[in-house]
Amino acid sequence: MLFNKNTSKKLAQGFLILIGSLLILAVVIALVGEAKAGPIPRWDHNSDIGIWNESTHPPRAEVRLNLINAQSTGVESRLQGVCYDLLEKKDKPYYLYLGFGFQSGHLDIEPALGWSFRDNEWVAAFRTYPEWEKWRGYSNCEYQLETKSWYYLAQIETHFNHWVECGAEMEGWGDIDDQLTSNGAGINVVFNTHPRWGNPDSKLRIEAGLQLREMDSKYKPQLIVRFIFSPEMEEHTPDPRRWR
């Protein structure tokens, strides 16, 4: 069983909070976009990608670079560069974010402000980093102010061994004005380059996810791979939960 007598009360509460948040998010998405599903410009795939066929949605590859500095006890700044889809042949979606993370018990929260270079507009983001014993979670909600488009990613993973984590994720995006949405959910596997659970000096994290995604009113599997680089910036010991 997931929650047994050896599982702490905080773990159970945190897990239930995360599941409840995902359910609330799913309801909000259903209310916002009842129209025909489809891609938005952030992931504007075309069918001429060579490794795509009729039985799957086009795969995606994402790269993040995190530059993290401790500002004070319990407060960290994060300068983050993201390319959300390296497989785009042109007009790749590059984003730059500046966020400040605040630690509160088993939960870190991080409001951030970003810039979309392709769309030339501001992006508001809010991230959370919960952790309970061998479980860790991550959520990111974003909203682009001018195009009125949104994006979310929610993940939860558990320690499998020193190098590997596994779990589940939900990811989606939409455009309010054009009434376009795409939502997916599935499993993921995470590979850490340093053989120590929760080591803050691990500089490369590789996430591989397989989602069942609705896009263009079709439900198909989609593969997503994320490469997350977090080089050590200075001689300090950052919170080991700041791993995304």
Confirm if 192 and 199 have CB atoms less than 8 A apart.
yes
Q: Coil, strand or helix: which one is 203? A: coil
- 225 C-beta neighbours (distance < 10 Å), count: 16
How far apart, in Å, are the Cα atoms of 206 and each of 144, 166, 202, 209? 27, 12, 11, 10
Residue 235 included in any domain:
no
Residue 242 included in any domain:
no
Instruction: Quote the mean pLDDT of the chain.
Output: 78
Tokens of 129: 């980093």
138 or 39, higher pLDDT: 138
- Give the integer Cα–Cα distance in Å for 69 and 91: 31
The pLDDT of residue 87 is above 80 = yes
Residue 241 included in any domain:
no
Residue 223 included in any domain:
yes
Q: What is the mean pLDDT of residues 220-227?
A: 95
Residue 138 included in any domain:
yes
Residue 19 included in any domain:
yes
What is the reported pLDDT for 233? 63
Least confident segment among 93-102, 143-152, 153-162, 218-227: 153-162
Handedness of CA 93, 80, 20, 222 (dihedral sign): positive
- Give the integer Cα–Cα distance in Å for 202 and 186: 25
Place of tokens 């909000």: 28
10-58 pLDDT, tens digit each: 444 444 545 554 554 444 444 333 333 333 345 554 434 444 567 898 8
- 119 C-beta neighbours (distance < 10 Å), count: 17
Question: What is the model's pTM?
Answer: 0.74
3 band by pLDDT with thresholds 50, 70 and 90 = very low
What is the reported pLDDT for 212? 96
> Phi first, then psi: what are they for 195, rounded to 5°?
-75, 55
Q: What is the mean pLDDT of residues 217-226?
A: 93
159-199 pLDDT, tens digit each: 877 788 999 999 999 988 877 899 999 999 999 876 544 45
- Give the integer Cα–Cα distance in Å for 127 and 112: 8
Residue 18 included in any domain:
yes
Residue 239 included in any domain:
no
Q: CATH no. for residue 115? A: 2.40.160.40
Identify the domain containing residue 197 by its residue range.
9-229
